[in-house]
Structure formats: structure tokens, C-alpha cells
Amino acid sequence: MRASEFLTAAAQNKLGPAYFLSGPDRFLHEECRSALVASLPAESREWCLAEIEFVPGRLAREIEGASQMPMLGGHNFLLFSDPEDFKQAGDADHEALAAYLERPSPFATVIFAAVEPDRRRRFIQLLEKKTQVVNLLPLARREAAEWLKHYVARAGVELDTPLAEEIAARFESSNDPRKGGPAGVNLLWARTEVEKLLTAKQGAKRLERGDLDLMVVFREEHVIGKLLEGIAERNFPRALENLRALLASKESEMLLLWSIGDLFRQALKGGGAPRFGGRGRGAWNRWSNPYSTQEIAPQLQRKYSRQEILQALRQVRQTDLGVKSSWKDSKILLEFLVWRIIVGRGAESVPAFELPGPAVEA
């Protein structure tokens, strides 16, 4: 199943009993989650949707909630995620999952999400065999162009196919050309720049080729890379300075969260990749990571323990939920996130504190 099929099923309230969202495109992961949330009436989301971070040995207890009658609404949704992609799942978790999938609850949909699952593990093999797998791979240029056309159409703006493909091509990347893998489009980055373009062309009914000159072209010393380097080196003043500069320039908060999370995921899975063709960090080419996370990740590994990396990923997730809630100043949430990551503070040990200096106002 492709992401588009899952999104359509969610919007039509036609999801089945069990799904496995599997693949490296974190933007599509979030699109699937957002579609699930949007499909639920606001007054019943708190009761019908449970987002659960997987803890080894506890799956049997957690999945019991799927068999309970919904308090409000007609259906329960349980969304399981894990920064380590269920690598620590043991025999008890495998048995609990197998037992549930043999007789899934008619009252619930259970969803497991993993970015880079190890297909050699029994737990992952069970998910692939007994659930509906949703492949979340980066979209190819033509697919991404269609997505962009539909996206701008929601704002009442027309975008023809050749121009949409040209925009999508600007955001293609592939980690290693020697592997011969297909390039994929970073949709979050593309969407962010298209949003800026629509803001600059407010009132326009159609995007023209000349409008592309207004799009930000990626530069070698991109300030997002500087923010990530500050975090990797645990240099809070530098990281905070660059974060505030990004926020003042109207950079997407979701893009910043994605970049920080991607950096820690790269570090968790083992670090960076070598440079190719002598191109330095951030060079504008289809083979480089747009935000240089693969090159910065080894720096982070030298400064953070594995436990701190996992904790940071959880904090990114908490902040993501906070930014999407009714919090009035998401800038403060982002500054707080960077502070907590760099000083190594978990949520349970954070005292009252004051950030140095006021945040830059928009």
C-alpha cells in the first residue's frame, strides 16, 4: 500500500484492523498521522486516539486497550512508535503481537510506525506478514510534482506539470549514487519553500517559471547546518543564536524540528556517510543531504551518549506535539527543546529557568 492509499482510507474512515507504516520518509509518516487525527472529531480525539511509545516487555499490557469498547466515538486507534524501530522487542512482545493479530479487535485499528526497520528481526517480520504494510518511501520526481500541484490547488493556485517537476527536482536527494538507488524528493523542504513562494505571490492564481527566482536556493553554509552543528557540539549560545535567526527569517518550525530529529536519528543508526566527488557540506547536488545531517552526526556521537540521543528524539516528538497544540508561543518551545537537548535534561528533571535574552520577534 502506498501512502496516498492510506491517506484516502483515513479520510474516508475506512481503515482496517492493523497497519505497519514503514519507510524513511518522515514527512509521509507525519502526513499519515495528521490524516488519522483529522479523521476524528475534535471532541473525541482524546478518548479515541492513543499515541504510545513502545517499551520492551510492555506490549501485551498496552495492546489490551485495543480490545476495550470506545468511550466516545465508534472506534479506537493505537499508534505505536519507537526511536529504535522496535529493535529491542523481545519474545514476549512478539508473542503478544502475534496473539493480537490472530484475533484483532473489531473496535480498534492498531498502527506501528518505523523509519528504518531491521527486516531480519522476528517482530518486524511478523508486522510485515500480518498487517497492511504502508511503504513510506520518498516520492519520485513525477509523484512529488503531482503532490505539489494538489497542494497549491488547495490555496487556489494553478501549477502546471512541467513547472511542478522542475520544482520537485530542486529537492531531490539520494544518499549514495554508487548504490544506484532512485533519488527521492524531500517533500517537507519543498513544501516549506513553496509556502514562502505563495506568501510572496499572495493573490496570484498561477505560478510561472519566473517565480522560481523567488525561491530560496540552498547555500553551502546554510544556517540550519550551523544550528545542527551547534547542537552536535553542545554549544548552546551558538545553537540559540542560529535558531533565533531562523525563526526571525520565518523558517518553518516543522522543518527545524524535522532537521533536529533527523540529525539524532542519523547518529542513532551509526553516523554519517562519506563525502562524494569532493563536494563539501551542503553543496547543491542531488547526492548530498540537504541539511548535512550525515556529516554532522559523527560530531554528535562524540558528545552525546546513546541514552541522551534517545532522550533527544523523545523530546523532539514532545515538542512537535506541543507546536501543533494550542501553545501560544512555539518559538519558546523550540528554544526550550534545544536547551534541554544540549544540557541533557529530561522532562522529569527540568527546573524553572529563563533563556538568555528575549527571542527575536517576527
Whether the predicted pLDDT of 341 surpasses 90: yes
Looking at residue 127, its amino acid is L
Within the chain, all domains assigned CATH 1.10.8.60 are found at 139-217
Which residues are paired to 355 by β-bridges? none
| pLDDT tier for residue 193 given thresholds of 50, 70 and 90 | confident
| pLDDT tier for residue 174 given thresholds of 50, 70 and 90 | low
Read off the pLDDT of each residue in 210-224 and give the average, rounded to a whole number.
63
Whether the predicted pLDDT of 357 surpasses 60: no
**Going by CATH, does the domain composed of 3-135 fall within 3.20.20.100?**
no
Q: Are 184 and 229 in contact (CB under 8 A)?
A: no
Give CATH for domain 219-362: 1.20.272.10
Dist CA 230 CA 241 (whole Å): 9
Query: Pairing state of beta strands 49-53 and 108-114?
Result: unpaired
Within the chain, all domains assigned CATH 1.20.272.10 are found at 219-362
Within the chain, all domains assigned CATH 3.40.50.300 are found at 3-135
Question: What pLDDT does 183 receive?
Answer: 62
Read off the pLDDT of each residue in 335-358 and give the average, rounded to a whole number.
65
Q: Are 109 and 16 in contact (CB under 8 A)?
A: yes
Q: Are 215 and 170 in contact (CB under 8 A)?
A: yes
Dist CA 75 CA 48 (whole Å): 6
CA torsion sign, 136 to 137 to 142 to 145?
A: positive
Task: Give percent of the chain with pLDDT exceeding 70.
Answer: 81
For the entire predicted model, the pTM comes to 0.71
List the single range of 72-81, 144-153, 295-304 with lowest mean pLDDT.
72-81
Question: What pLDDT does 102 receive?
Answer: 92
Task: Give 120's contacts (C-beta < 8 A, 6+ positions apart).
Answer: none
Give CATH for domain 139-217: 1.10.8.60
Q: How many CB atoms lie within 10 A of CB 219?
A: 11
Dist CA 360 CA 362 (whole Å): 7
Q: Are 146 and 192 in contact (CB under 8 A)?
A: no
